[in-house]
Amino acid sequence: MTVVTRFAPSPTGFLHIGGARTALYNWLYAKHTGGKFLLRIEDTDRERSTPEAVEAIFDGLNWLGLTADEEPTFQFARRDRHAEVAHELINAGKAYYCYCSQEELQEMREKARAEGRPMKYDGTWRDRDASEAPAGVKPVVRLKAPQEGDAVISDQVQGDVRVANDQLDDYVILRGDGTPTYMLSVVVDDHDMGITHVIRGDDHLTNAFRQKALYDAMGWDVPTFAHIPLIHGPDGAKLSKRHGALGVDAYRDEMGFLPEAVNNYLLRLGWGHGDEEIISQDQAIEWFDIKDVGKGAARFDFAKLTNLNGVYLRQADDTRLANDIAPLIAKQIGVDAIDAAQKEILIKGMSGLKERAKTLIELADSSAFYVTDGVTSFNEKAQSLIDSAPEGLFAELAKELDALENWTEENVDASVRNIAEKLDQKLGKVAQPLRAVLTGSNSSPGIFEVMIVLGKSQTLKRIRKFDAK
C-alpha cells in the first residue's frame, strides 16, 4: 500500500503556525514511507473563503518547502460529486430526508437539556415515509448512524478510542439547499483522493467517529487516523496570537526566521528522536514516524525558536543570507534596492555578521552600516565612545592608515596597535572609538575585519569625519 497523506486548510485566513506543523507532519510521513503528500483547499465556506487566503497558504507552504506531489484539489468544485454520494446513500436506505423545522430542532435541544441528555437529533424522520412530509419544506439529508454497539478508532497517536454509537446522532450530510456539509465533503474527498492516513489536530477526534460511520455506510475503507495534540502557549493555554499563533508569513517577514529553523522547531513540538535538537530535513525524513508523536500538548517557546534560528543562520550560505537581508536593508536605508557592489560587500562581511545574529532582522540591522556611504547614525554608547576618545586619535588613525600601501588585516591591525602604543593607550581605548566611527555602534564583528570589508577609502572617509577631535 502506498501511503497518501493530505493537508486540508480552509482559506478563510492565513496559514497559521499550528497548520504549518500539521502540514509538516503529513509531508514528512509521506516522504518517510515513500508515499504522496496532497493538498486540498476546503473552500466550501464561500462567504469567508478568499483568493488572498488561498495564495497565502500556497506561499507559506512553498516557503517551508512543503510542496504537494499533485495539483491541489479545491473542495467547492467537487460539490456535485459530494451530493451524488448523498443520493446514493438515500437510494441504499442508509440516509433519509428530514423535514424538521428549526423550531422543532430547537425544541428537541431544549428538551434534551432539561432531561440531562446529549443534545442530539432524536431521529424523528428516520423511519417515516416521505408522504408524511409537510408541504413547502426543503428537507435536509441525514445519515443513518449506527445505534448499537461501539465505534472504535485505532488512532496512531491517541491509541484505541471508543465511543458508544448511541452517543452519535443522524447528522446532516446535505443541506436543504442541496449543498453538502463539511462532514460529507471531507469523507468523499479523502476517499476519492485515495487518502490512506488522516493526520490532523486532535480537535477533530470527535469528527472521526462521525466520518467513520459514513465510510462504513458507503462500504469504503476507513483511513488510518492520527490526531496530534494542539500547540499551547508557554502558560499552557491554547495557542493564541499573544503566544505566536500568527501567520507563517509573519515568522518570515516580520520576525526574520529561516524556513529550515521553523521546520526544525515545529518538528520538535510533539515529536522527538532521542536528545537530538538540530535535525536536518534528510534526517527528519529518515526518522519521522507518526507513531512517535506524543499525546501531550506541546508548548510554544519563542526563545527556543530564536536560539535555534541562530544556529541555522550560522550554518547558512553567505550569499543566500545576503540575498535574504538585501530587501530589509534597502528599506532601512531608504533605497529601492541595494546594488551588486553593495551585495558583494555584505557577502564579504557575512561570516562575521552572522555569528552575532539570531534572526534576519537582527542580521539586517547589524549589516546596514556596510552599505551606506558613511555612518548615518550612532547609538548612545557609540557616541559616548567617540566623545571620550583620546585627543588626536582620529587624526593619527587617518594619517597612519592612509600611508598603508597594502590594505590587509595584518597591516591595519599593526597600524592600530602602533597608534595605541604611540598614544600610550591600551588597544581597547583605540579600537572601541574606532569601531564607533566605522559602524555607528559599540558592537560589531572584529574591528580589523570591518576595516577590510569596508575598504581603505570608506574606512578613511568615516574616520576623517572625526579627525579634528
Task: Mark the binding-site residues for ATP, compressed into ranges.
Answer: 241
The Cα 142–Cα 125 span in angstroms is 9
Cell 506543523, located at residue: 21
**Distance (Å) of CA 64 to CA 21, 276, 282, 300, 392:** 10, 21, 14, 18, 54
* Residue numbers belonging to the annotated binding site: 241
Which listed residue (241, 295, 331, 381) is catalytic? 241
Known catalytic residue at 461: no
Q: Which of 294, 295, 348, 300 is nearest to 321 (CA)?
A: 348
Distance CA 224, CA 195 (A): 9
Quote the CA–CA distance of 213 and 321 in Å, as a whole number: 52
Cα angle 119, 189, 73 (rounded to 5 degrees) comes to 125
The set of cell numbers assigned to 275 is 536528545
User: What separation in angstroms does the CA of 262 have from each of 21, 145, 324, 441?
Assistant: 9, 42, 16, 30
- Residue 199 near residue 35 (C-beta atoms within 8 A): no
Measuring CA to CA, which residue among 70, 68, 81, 77 is closest to residue 49? 77
As given in the structure block, the three cell numbers for residue 370 are 556596510
Contact status, residue 377 vs residue 440, Cβ threshold 8 Å: yes
d(CA 148, CA 171): 16
Count of other CB atoms within 10 angstroms of residue 412: 24
E strand map for 159-261: 159-164, 172-174, 197-201, 224-228, 231-232
- In whole angstroms, how far apart are CA 380 and each of 89, 91, 165? 75, 79, 70
In degrees and rounded to multiples of 5, residue 444 shows phi and psi of: -170, 175
Interatomic CA distance for residues 445 and 345, integer angstroms: 14
| Long-range CB contacts (within 8 A, 24+) of 411-419 | 412/448, 412/451, 412/452, 413/448, 416/447, 416/448, 419/393
Active site positions, annotated: 241
